[in-house]
Every structure is written in structure tokens, then in C-alpha cells.
Structure 1
Amino acid sequence: MIILTPISCKNSTELATPVAPERVLADSKLIGEFQASQLRGRFTGALAPVQLLVRYGIKVYRIEYNTTNTDGKPIKASGALLVPNTDGAMPLISAQHGTIASDAEAPSYYNSGSEIYTFGTLFAAQGYIVAAPDYIGYGVSKDLPHTYEHREGLATASLDMLRASREFLADQQIKWDSRLFITGYSEGGYASMSLQKKIEEETGEEFNLVASSLGAGAYDKTATMRYLVSNRTTTNSDYNRLYTWVLLTYDRIYGLNRPASYYFKEPYASRVAESGRNANIGVSLNDAFTDAFKKAAAEETDQAFVEAVADNDVYDWKPRTPTRLYHGTADNLVFYFNSQNAYDAMQKRGATNVKLYPIRNATHATGLIEFILGTYTFFTNPSNL
């Protein structure tokens, strides 16, 4: 069994104390309470051994809070807050979810099959408070477009979810021991890296961030874009829908407003124009792109597009927080070079508290379990990179 151990606060006296943000918590509701025996019953078959990690029952709350959309307008967002049934002071994990296919999978619904229902619950049952943002575009903000793989949109929604959670815990007199951990896989890995960077660079001493465990995120958007336009990649239409989703998100948020025919040849341009991110593209994506777009992207003559992509790079900076990067070496959805490039860039900047954990021969799907188990171990002893 993993036992939580006290972690001393980091020395961050070199940081300026920020102005206290306005209250962001708008509403909260208890949506479920579950005993430890009920939680153990969720983990069967190959996952049966993790039943030993369940120590506490939990309460699950839906949190609604005020945040800002990518256009600067104030909006409401939502998320789930999982609180262990214990009187002791507990650490807090900000858990950013990976790509989801429907609003019903958002954390604040706490539906079976969602990340928060399974792996998020396992963290909570081990003694962590877990804050899980829906992101913009899900939950209470479901009528807005999701900010898919957009650095600032994901980071802002996640940061304000943390602030709302802090206010809720204080209102309910739930004991938080001030320690904060960050984790996420896939889109959640990218969102978590974006959140970590925002906390470290913009919030001063507002949070006591102890450790960050990131899995298979597309941190180097520029390298990913160049690879996709210049190389033959998967013909998996589900993967290509995700790449298209990123492209259309950046086109919208940065006001590029290009027609689908700028990016895609026929018949794919018509499909994207009609179905958006759900368009069926069953060829290597570089075979679906127009020659003009590929040339402009590769040679960086389309400055507006290149700058939009680069604005979402989150790999080349110097984290202060102990950070693990997990990634499957055979990942053909979010390419392994994203974590390798991040590690190399951070090392060059002198970040000695970042370590790369290659998951040998693992794909995007098969690397998940090793990432989760490694994260548990790391959070138990963050000094052991």
C-alpha cells in the first residue's frame, strides 16, 4: 500500500506575492458519496490489485466557477472535486483529463467510464483531494467550443478551478495541508504542463506546488506540426480527427478564418467544411493537405499560422517543481519526441529537477497504466525523481 508522507514546503521566497484574485467560486453541489467498499468494487480483473490502494470513502462535488474564455469574456466553467472521508489534513491534486469524445465524459458528471470515475477516484481514495476541471466547452460551458490543445485556454480554466476548489474547501472547513500536485495524460498532460508553467510564472507564492507528473502530452506543437505536414503518418481516421480538431481550434481562436480548402485537398476539404473535426480522413494527413499549405507551413511563409502554433509550445522553459515526463516510445498519436524535446530543452535551461521516463515500446494507449503507477510512487516521495 502507498503511504502518504509529509513533504516540506518548497522555498519560493524569491517570488513576488501576487495580488489576491477575486473570489471565483459560483456554486457547488454534492453529487455522490461512496464508501470504500463500493470503490473497491470498481476495480476488477487486471485492475483488481489496486483495490489495496483504496483507504477511504469519498464525497464528490460539482463545482461551478467564474473564469475567462480565450476571447477575454467572463464565463462560467465547471469541474469535479473529490474529497476523501477523513478528518486529517490532505494534499490536493489538480488532475487534467485527456481527450474526451462527448460532454457526458466530463468530470463534473462523474459518469462511469470517465477518467475521474476510475483513476481520479483511486487518487482520492488514497487520501488526496482531487480537483478535476471540465475545461471550457464541457459541463456548464458545454455550449461553447472546447479549447482543444490551446495552452492558455486549458491553463486558465484549470487554474481557476484550483482557486474555486480552495474557496470551497475553506467554506466547508475541509483541511487542505497546502500541498499541490499536478497530473494528466494526453491532452491532460499538455494541459497540466500549461497549468504548471502558468502557476510557476504568474502566481508567485499563491500555491505550494510540490510535484508534477505528466504523460504523453504534445508539448512541442511546432515540431508536431512540421512532422505532420512533412511525413507520412497514421491513416487512422480517429487520430486524424484529433489533428484536425487542433488545426480548426487554432484557426478559430487566432482569427485565421481560412476555408477548409486552404488546408485540405478534395475530397477532404468538403468533408471538413461539412463535418468539421468529425470529418473522415483515412489517409496520411500530409496526403490530405494541399501542397500550398504544406509548403507555407514547412517553410514558415504563413506567418500567422506558424505563430499561432508556436504560441501553444510549452516545452522550452525551466520548471522549478520536481517534474516527471512519461511517454511511450512507440506512441504514434502524440509522438515521443514531444517529451524528449521538452526534457532536452529544460536541461539546457538548467532544470535539474526534471526527469524523462521512456515507456519502452508502449503506444499512446498502453503507456497509461505505467504512467499512473509511476505517478502514485512519485507523489508519495516527490524528492525521488
Structure 2
Amino acid sequence: MTVLAPQTRSAATSSRQAWRLLVSLLGLVGALVLTWANAGLAAAADAAPIAVPSGVRSELIGRWDIDTLNRILTVDSPKYFGISVPYTPARNAVRLYRITYASVVPEQNNRPIVATGLLAVPDTGASSLPILSYQHGSAFLKTQVPSFPDQSGETQLIVAQFAGQGYVVIGADYFGMGASTEPEAFGVMASQQQASLDMLRASEAVLAQMQIATGKLFLGGWSLGGFVTMAFLERLEKDGVKVSGAATASGPADVFSLLSGFLDFPRKNDAASTNLLYILSAFSFETYYGLPGLARSFFTDEYYDIAKRAYERQPYDFNDIPTDLTKLIRPDYFDPDFFASSAYGRIAFATQAYRWIIKTPVHNYYGEADEVVSVGLARLAMNYQQGIGGGNDKVEAISTGPTDHRGTFATAVALWKNWFDRL
């Protein structure tokens, strides 16, 4: 932190007071917006589904043969995730389609939006197939998402393990990602639910045209996608859609707990890339909840511009973003009470996906050396559900051993497959 010369301290004090006033005003506006946001989250879950237009567009973008899929399982994924896992070998080729579909932004009064995603269809000739909706993790680039599978290591693994074994695999890119020209909606829960729901509908429409019926529906997600999976499950259950099983890997069910943890109770093994969680979420909250100035009030003046470039996916050097969060984020946010009462903190507090009576069997896999999601946070949904009266046993948290963030996902995927096959 820079030490100010005596002649600059008075001006700095006035500037700091003005900044605090701005944050206070944002907090007041945030309270109003959060009231609306909470209503928006609930409304998005409870409102009658909005029909996807019949003009859903599908584009064949590739076909992966059995050798390609098995190379992903035995060579590419172990190299990418840093761990070797005994996956079930692929037994069929897979056709890959980029789906473009219409959706709406619940936080913005159901503003129409166009989104993209991946549909991976087993090349078996079968007339009925189970379907896995995969919710992807955080992405550094707009194209490190399902509908650009060549650029997404996690998507490649899911396609190889599941679509190569006869499951239809779908994956929404989320708003602002993939081929979208919109800003990213990172951690914006109702929008991520809506993007996933309308991707499911669009995929079912395309499959119907292919004369393929869908059987059991499964959900899976890693990291951010683990949170989205839980949020999507809540939406589907409220809409009366049967889900046979849902699984996550390193999934934080409570975004406030995740973000507060790095500020208030940092661990020695916290990932350096956690700085991007704050960057993507702060600008997404500002954009989608309509709070101009939120991000500027959150980041220090020195690093605001590069943070904005990172969010907008403009050219920047990742090494120029400090891994020391005290340099990136304004000091007041390290006060837990200030953080909780800020507009940013209030929205984060509302962004949770475990406080409802879960009816679907859920497995939350976690790693004991995970540098992003702590063991306590990974077990939160299970502990909460078991703490309801006599206990709801639908959610089970399962350790993958001393695995890190990537290793937890790579290990869990094989466990998902074995479990889903038995359901």
C-alpha cells in the first residue's frame, strides 16, 4: 500500500469520504435492487416457462470417432487435469452440434437474448437415449465453453466419457459466452438457470427432429458449473421436471461463502486465479442487476481498468492482475460487515443454491486439497439438508481424496458415470 505524503493526506481523506459515500449510496440502491433481485430470482424460478421459438438453429461442427474419444480419455485429459483416471472407454462415435436458441434475461424484465450451446449426439442410430446436461466451469476466454469443444478441456472429457457411452450431452455456454455478443453473466443465478433451461428445451426440439426421444435426465457441473447445476436443479424441480440424478465436482453452493472466504479466512493453498472470480462477478453484477459504478467502488483505482478489460475479454496480460487481493480490492471490503452490507455482498448473499427441500438424488464430490472450494463449502448442501428436522438424505458429499481443483473434476467424472448408470 502506498504511503501518502502529508500534503496529500487531506485530499485523500476527502476522496476516501466521497468514495465511502458512493459505496453507501450503492448499498442503498443495492438494497432496493437486491429486493428486486431476490424477487427476480424467485420469479424466474416460479413464473410460467417462456416458450423457446421454433426457429432453434443447429449447426454440425464435427464428428469425433472412437479413437479420438479414447485419446481424450487416456492422453489429453490426464495431461490437462494432471491426474490419470480409469475411465470407461468410448464405444461409439459422437456428432457435435452448435445450438443457437432464444432465451430471456430474468434480471432485466425478461429481455430477449440469443444464446449458444453444445449438443453432442451418440452416433448409434438409437431412437431413445439418456441425456446429461453439463454446466461448465469458469472460462478465461469466451470460447472456452461447450459449443467450442476443441477449446474446452472439460467439455472434451464429458463428451468422451458420456456421449462416447451412449448419453446425449448438452451444455449451455451461458449468456455472454460462446458466440454471444452480450456481456458475460458470471454468477448471475437466474440468467444461468434460464440459459440452461432453454438450452434443454432447444436440444429436445432438435432431437425430436432427429427422431430421438430422451430418456432419463441427469445434471452435472464443475466449479462454477457445480453451482449452476444446483441452481438449475432447483428450477427444474419447481417446474416439475423429473431429474434422475445430479452430480457436482468442486461446486460452491453458496457464492457469498466462496467470495467471503478468500477475503476473511484465506488459506495457504488458495488459487492465484481467484482474482478472476471477483472481476467476473463484480462486472456481471453491475451489468445484469443495473448498478452502474459497482465495480469501480469495488476495485482499486490502479487496477480497475485492467479488471474491466479482463471482464470484457479485451487484450490484457493476466500477469498484470495482482494475485494479492489487497492490491486489487479496496480495503473496506476486507471488513466482513462492510462486505456483507455492500451492494456486491448483498447480491452474493442472495446467490445460493441449497436452501430448498431437495427431492433429487445429489452427489457433491469434493477434493481435500482443492485450492478453490474448501471442504466445508463443498459439504454445505449436505449438512444443511441433513440439518432439516430428522434430516433429508437426498444429498451426499463424497471425497475424491487429496485432489486439487482440476483433479477433483477429473476423478469425479468417472464416479458420476458409474453412479448415473446405476440410477
Q: TM-score, normalised by structure 1?
A: 0.84
Q: How far, CA to CA, are the matches of 1:194 and 1:259 in structure 2?
A: 24
| Structure whose alpha-carbon radius of gyration is higher | 2
Question: Which one of the candidate residues 376, 381, 385 is aligned to 2:417?
Answer: 376
Whose helix fraction is larger, Structure 1's or Structure 2's? 2
Matches within 5 A, 1:80-159: 80-86=118-124, 87-111=126-150, 113-141=152-180, 143-159=181-197
Q: TM-score, normalised by structure 2?
A: 0.77
Question: What letter is aligned with 2:347?
Answer: A
The 8 Å contact of residues 270 and 372 in structure 2, kept in 1 or not, is answered as no
Taking structure 1 as reference, are residues 222 and 57 closer, same or farther at Cα in structure 2, changes over 3 Å only? same
User: SS where residue 366 of structure 1 aligns?
Assistant: helix
Paired residue for 1:285? 325
User: SS where residue 171 of structure 2 aligns?
Assistant: strand
For residues 143-169 of structure 1, give each alpha carbon's deviation from its aligned partner in whole angstroms, at most 9, with x where no partner exists.
111111221111110110001111111
Asked if 1:39 is matched to 2:73, the reply is no
User: SS where residue 166 of structure 2 aligns?
Assistant: coil
Paired residue for 2:33? none
Paired residue for 2:273? 238
Moved more, 351-360 or 158-167: 351-360
Moved more, 77-86 or 326-335: 326-335
Paired residue for 2:345? 306
Taking structure 1 as reference, are residues 144 and 275 closer, same or farther at Cα in structure 2, changes over 3 Å only? same
Matches within 5 A, 1:164-183: 164-177=202-215, 179-183=216-220
RMSD between superposed Cα atoms in Å: 2.8
Q: How far, CA to CA, are the matches of 1:310 and 1:42 in structure 2?
A: 38
Question: What letter is aligned with 2:235?
Answer: K
The 8 Å contact of residues 186 and 284 in structure 2, kept in 1 or not, is answered as yes
User: SS where residue 43 of structure 1 aligns?
Assistant: helix
Question: Which one of the candidate residues 242, 249, 255 is aligned to 2:284?
Answer: 249
Q: How far, CA to CA, are the matches of 1:287 and 1:112 in structure 2?
A: 31
Paired residue for 1:8? none
Question: Which one of the candidate residues 202, 207, 210 is aligned to 2:244?
Answer: 210
Taking structure 1 as reference, are residues 158 and 368 closer, same or farther at Cα in structure 2, changes over 3 Å only? same
Paired residue for 1:348? 387
Matches within 5 A, 1:174-193: 174-177=212-215, 179-193=216-230
Q: How far, CA to CA, are the matches of 1:287 and 1:298 in structure 2?
A: 18
Q: How far, CA to CA, are the matches of 1:146 and 1:261 in structure 2?
A: 17
Asked if 1:197 is matched to 2:226, the reply is no
Paired residue for 2:254? 220
Paired residue for 1:6? none
Name structure 1 gaps, 5 residues minimum: 1-17
Q: How far, CA to CA, are the matches of 1:273 and 1:112 in structure 2?
A: 23
Q: How far, CA to CA, are the matches of 1:61 and 1:274 in structure 2?
A: 31
Q: How far, CA to CA, are the matches of 1:274 and 1:23 in structure 2?
A: 33
The 8 Å contact of residues 182 and 213 in structure 1, kept in 2 or not, is answered as yes
Q: How far, CA to CA, are the matches of 1:181 and 1:236 in structure 2?
A: 30
Q: Percent sequence identity over matched residues?
A: 25
Question: What letter is aligned with 1:245?
Answer: L
